[in-house]
Amino acid sequence: MNDVLDSLTGQAAALAEGSETPISLAERALDRAERKADLNAFVALDSPIVLDQARAAAERRLRNAPRSLIDGIPIAVKDNFLTRDYPTTACSGALPWEAGGQDATIVSRLRDAGAIIFGKTNMHEWAYGATNSTSSFGPTRNPHDPSRITGGSSGGSGAAVASGIVAAALGSDTGGSVRIPAAACGIYGFKPSYGRASRHGVLALSWSLDAPGPLTRNLPDIQLLLPYFFGKDPKDVTTANSKELGPMPRKVEPRLLRLYGKGLECTSEVEKAISGALATSPCSLENCEITSVSSYFAAWETILHCEASSYHASQPANKRSGYSPVTQAHLEAGEQITAVEYLHAQSIRAHFMTVLLKELPAWDALVLPTLPVVAPRQGEDWQLFGGRKVTTQDSMTWFCWLGNLAGLPCVTLPVANPGGDMPVGMMLMGRPGRDEELLAIACRVQEQLKEYGSVE
Amino acid sequence: MNDVLDSLTGQAAALAEGSETPISLAERALDRAERKADLNAFVALDSPIVLDQARAAAERRLRNAPRSLIDGIPIAVKDNFLTRDYPTTACSGALPWEAGGQDATIVSRLRDAGAIIFGKTNMHEWAYGATNSTSSFGPTRNPHDPSRITGGSSGGSGAAVASGIVAAALGSDTGGSVRIPAAACGIYGFKPSYGRASRHGVLALSWSLDAPGPLTRNLPDIQLLLPYFFGKDPKDVTTANSKELGPMPRKVEPRLLRLYGKGLECTSEVEKAISGALATSPCSLENCEITSVSSYFAAWETILHCEASSYHASQPANKRSGYSPVTQAHLEAGEQITAVEYLHAQSIRAHFMTVLLKELPAWDALVLPTLPVVAPRQGEDWQLFGGRKVTTQDSMTWFCWLGNLAGLPCVTLPVANPGGDMPVGMMLMGRPGRDEELLAIACRVQEQLKEYGSVE
């Protein structure tokens, strides 16, 4: 399955040397999408739209005038990013939010660079869940085992990249929605620091937690895509201080801090995989307990529910009537939370950031498993680990919400799983705004993992 | 009444030339405080504490080693600023918040500069009201007419400066609490841009609206004090981007925009005073209507109530039991507001800022009366103006809340009142972060008012 054409960098090289054309790449992706239709990764994909873009890119390549390295490369887009050429539905039974007409800022930047906006990927309805089991288009299936879920909410993007349909896809992440499907499907996912990536045109879930991010087959591909995410966007005030992607600074010996404590348990299978990966790490490693995890988690959930209910309160009733009962119930619950409770959650959040950024021993990256379990089977309501019985939903966001609550850049990379056949992801979290440093540390850990020879 | 020693600059000059000493200034202030005790301006004032500080300052002056221009000058402090030498009660029947032991950052900076921290001034309980009628120490009285209120919540600071007890006093402003008593008492008051002045050690009312500010007898005195307010304070994260006071840039022709519209009415007496003052202004003047004022006001009130209730929710029950019934009722009402309503108010606030900062015709300062009425009589529940019957409380914040909701720097200056005997204040509001520019414009307007000869 590890074809050189599965990665962006591989496709870019093939285009540059002429062994592939934008049209051959587009046809390859369309063909694969058709053959892997059972994964239910795409909710909108139109061959003529794809081929039109491919032909335009091919012309530019023929004239030796490509707009960028990724000119002519297909990229899939989660169905909560507005796109000029496809409707955007957030996989809700509601009317499409937008029937087309404008692109999200990131989509527009990629399109300007010549990327082929390939199609819209399946997602958990309104991104309000992490299993991808609730979608008006039905659940996605995990390419490693179709009887298992992809995780979500960017599950279609995870399946599309992990199955080799496209080399890269866009996702959004409020409590792990990029990292969860990336880990569950055995690929890479990156959530930028809060406020670093433009959210204009990405339908909101919880505006103080949301961040868009890429899912890819390797780390260099993330680096190739981040310039289209970063930098000021006049249409998104939260990016007012966002810097363009800078050089990746290399620390002599990055300090990794592995967090543990009550509320941070995982299965022994996952524990073994993470410990094995860390044993190969070239970085200094310390273990550190954090307490009150359940109170921080409750703060994240409160903020999420209040902001989601606030956002959806402004939706017209005819759209809201199409939401699934579980999304309706979430929103109604969020409407009951008082402002004092919301503000209390924000104060817990501020305390959490102080703990992470000022009170822990000095660190360059925090380490956790991305998920406490491997991808659950479709229809499983509960997961058992660490002596707990946890809903499948909560087990998906188990570790990931920490990065959203604190606004940290986060990356998940696949590590070897000596105890099973399903992928395991390791998560590294960096200091706010230092996305480049995090990526540099991840590359360093990754090189060592390759030498160790344990990642497929 | 206009003694040169009524101003900071006058006192500083007298100290420098030796015609006064810190001890004579302290004794003068103590004597005046005693003679004007009926104003009820002070809630804590201790002669030995004052004279100890004065003696230390006098020694420094004798050694020709004053710490600053204001070394040895008495400055009064609103009773919601923590002070090392006096208890802090926020004029609530509750236990003192702090019996002493630490200074608010601004108090500490002034003390380091040698200023005499003179005493604690009366205020509206917890700053949660703008009349100064609700205080565990009883109401303050207006030096211009003791049968009238000072306005609040920094009413004691207003009375102390307007009556010539001290040349300057500290206040805090969430919906006008510096500007209201300054205007009602015929002096100057300045509310900095949100996040420019340290709030560490100032008991909160509504943290996204609160700003501490000075009350003085002229504009140069404000300039003399702002360096102690501005600049980063590691103890207040909202000052992370606060710049020290910079030079005052002079615009060739500052553009004033006088706002009007439904919800911005005032009495004909106030209208006449403001129009007269503006007629003398050297600035370009345009009138501009704004709409939806009542919706912006409701957003300000919602944010205020939610944040106040959130802050007080963390107070121990034994303290809360001492609050006045009206404050209790406010706090209980605030607890009923939902997070969705609070977040909706924040979105209206964002829209309001867009209107003010981006959609209005280009402006350097916005102009409004500071109050729609002159200082009301004690015990009056209602004010009549512009065809409306408005509670005295709402008539006090009538114009001032706009500056807090948008985070603008604001200044009030007294103008001649041809239609009556009580003071009228004119308010100028600047662009966020451009406090220096606002002060420069105010100075320019002020010079012209003096030439016109109409301000007492």
Tell me the per-residue pLDDT of B66-90, one tens digit each, with 9 for 90 and over. 999 999 999 999 999 999 999 999 9
Q: Do B335 and A334 touch (CB under 8 A)?
A: no
* Closest residue by Cα to residue B73 from B263, B217, B180: B217
The residues pairing with B377 across neighbouring beta strands, listed in sequence order, are B148
Give B333 to chain A, closest Cα distance, Å.
Answer: 11
Q: Which value does ipTM take for this structure?
A: 0.84
Out of B309, B335, B340, closest to residue A310 by CB: B340
Q: Which residues of B touch A343 (CB under 8 A)?
A: 306-307, 310, 342
Question: How far is it, in rounded angstroms, from Cα B265 to Cα B372?
Answer: 7
Residue B391 has pLDDT above 70, yes or no: yes
The residues pairing with A77 across neighbouring beta strands, listed in sequence order, are A120, A170
φ, ψ of residue B418 to 5 degrees: the values are -65, -15
Peptide bond into B321 cis (omega under 30): no
Written as six digits, the tokens of B375 are 């200082």
pTM across the whole model: 0.89
Looking at chain A, which residue has its C-alpha nearest residue B332?
A340
Give B430 to chain A, closest Cα distance, Å.
Answer: 21
φ, ψ of residue A338 to 5 degrees: the values are -85, 165
Per CB distance under 8 Å, which residues of A are interface residues toward B? 302, 306-307, 309-310, 313, 334-344, 347
Residue showing tokens 């924040």:
B346
Q: Do A338 and B340 touch (CB under 8 A)?
A: no
What is the crossing angle of helices B8-17 and B22-35, to 10°?
A: 140
Question: How far is it, in rounded angstroms, from Cα A38 to Cα B357?
Answer: 52
Q: What is the pLDDT of residues B87-117, one digit of tens each?
A: 999 999 877 766 667 999 999 999 999 999 9
pLDDT at B320: 82
Annotated active-site positions of A, please? Answer: 78, 153, 177
Is-contact B163 B388, C-beta < 8 A? no
Q: What is the pLDDT of residues B156-200, one digit of tens each?
A: 999 999 999 999 999 999 999 999 999 999 999 999 999 999 999
pLDDT, mean of residues A76-89: 95
DSSP state for residue B85 in the 8-state scheme: S
Span(s) in chain A for CATH 3.90.1300.10? 4-239, 255-452
Give A83 to chain B, closest Cα distance, Å.
Answer: 25
Label residues B360-393 b or e (16+ Cβ within 10 Å = b): eeebbbbbbbbbbbbbbebeeeebebeeeebebb
* Closest residue by Cα to residue B107 from B46, B170, B167: B170
pLDDT, mean of residues A155-167: 98
Looking at chain B, which residue has its C-alpha nearest residue A336?
B338
CATH number for region A4-239 = 3.90.1300.10
3-state helix, strand, coil in chain B (%, to 5): 40, 20, 40
pLDDT at A22: 98
DSSP state for residue A357 in the 8-state scheme: I
Q: Do A334 and B339 touch (CB under 8 A)?
A: yes
Q: What is the pLDDT of residues B9-56, one digit of tens each?
A: 999 999 999 999 999 999 999 999 999 999 999 999 999 999 999 999
Annotated active-site positions of B, please? Answer: 78, 153, 177
DSSP state for residue B153 in the 8-state scheme: S
Question: How far is it, in rounded angstroms, from Cα A60 to Cα A62?
Answer: 5
pLDDT, mean of residues A374-386: 97
Architecture of domain A255-452: Alpha-Beta Complex (3.90)
Looking at chain B, which residue has its C-alpha nearest residue A331?
B340
Q: Which residues of B touch A336 (CB under 8 A)?
A: 338
Residue B1 has pLDDT above 50, yes or no: no
Q: Which residues of B touch A344 (CB under 8 A)?
A: 310, 313
Q: Do B313 and A337 touch (CB under 8 A)?
A: no
* Closest residue by Cα to residue B173 from B376, B427, B400: B400
Question: How far is it, in rounded angstroms, from Cα B222 to Cα A356?
Answer: 40
Strand B168-173 relative to strand B74-78, pairing: parallel
* Closest residue by Cα to residue B190 from B163, B228, B140, B164: B228
DSSP state for residue A5 in the 8-state scheme: G
Predicted confidence band at A322 (pLDDT cuts at 50, 70, 90)?
confident
Residue A132 has pLDDT above 90, yes or no: yes
pLDDT at B99: 65
Taking the C-alpha atoms of B450, B442, B131 and B147 in order, what is their torsion angle to the nearest 10 degrees?
A: 0
Residue A64 has pLDDT above 50, yes or no: yes
